Amino acid sequence: MAQVKGNTPPQSTSQQPSVFKVVLLGSSSVGKSSLAFRFIKNDFKEILPTLGCAFFTQMMEIDGCVLKLEIWDTAGQEKYHSVCHIYFRGANAALLVYDIANKDSFHRAQKWWKELENEFQPEEIVVILVGNKTDLEDSREVTLEEGKAFAESNKLLFMETSAKLNYQVSEAFTAVAHELLRREQNGGQAQRKNPAVDLKEKARAGKSRCCLD
């Protein structure tokens, strides 16, 4: 990972919205970077530019509360099975991504889930299983039911997406954000930085920032 040193997210003050670290996990080429690019830039490119940073930030407003997602993408280390623990240390949420047209990637996502289970208590992290590339329906190797069943049996959120066609991408991130806020409001999330800011107190959420600019 280039440019960002260590894994410490930016500090926030009491005037700032809650900051949540969200990591993208999954095999190479399942569309992790494309999902982040679609969500942050609302665009899709067959070949994404080499990214010069390890995370992007996106402000969101959920039910009148503003929160900031710090979305961590890999720089391709998963190709060499070398995504290190430092990558997901301190994560508040994870998108476990697989390609619906690639069964191996589904099995790999399940292995990632085992790693997360070893690293986190269930209440410490929000996990969504994401079956990407629904536009490749003709080559589908993982049924919707298989994805759903794995998610349900492990109490994960679940969504199928297409970064290419912009299908349910923001919905997947929004589902994560909802769950993060719900847990925060229930006093969970030991790692939260500071309480969510009510929009009535803070009229402007601020512009979304992204180091793809």
Residues forming contacts to Mg ion in the complex (CB under 5 A) are 32-33
Residue 46 CB, shortest distance to ligand GDP, in Å, is 4
| Residue 51 binds to ligand GDP (criterion: CB under 6 A) | no
Q: Report the alpha-carbon distance of residue 1 to residue 67 in Å, rounded.
A: 25
| Residue 108 binds to ligand GDP (criterion: CB under 6 A) | no
Question: Which of the ranges 27-35, 62-70, 177-185, 188-196 carries the binding residues for ligand GDP, by CB under 6 A?
Answer: 27-35
Per DSSP, 194 falls in state S
Among 21, 68, 108, 164, binds ligand GDP (CB under 6 A): 164
Q: CA neighbours within 13 Å on the CB side: how many for 9? A: 25
Residue 104 CB, shortest distance to ligand GDP, in Å, is 13
- 8 A C-beta contact, residue 109 and residue 96: yes
Return phi, psi of residue 53, to 5°. Answer: -150, 170
Question: Which of the ranges 15-23, 56-64, 116-124, 128-136 carries the binding residues for ligand GDP, by CB under 6 A?
Answer: 128-136
Q: Report the alpha-carbon distance of residue 171 to residue 132 in Å, rounded.
A: 13
Between the two ends of the chain, the Cα-to-Cα distance in Å is 18
Question: Which CB atom, from 19 or from 36, has the smaller least distance to ligand GDP?
Answer: 36
Residue 8 CB, shortest distance to ligand GDP, in Å, is 24
Alpha helix segments (H runs only) across 11-143? 32-41, 85-88, 103-119
Q: Point out which residues bind ligand GDP (CB under 6 A).
A: 26, 28-34, 46, 48, 132-133, 135-136, 162-164
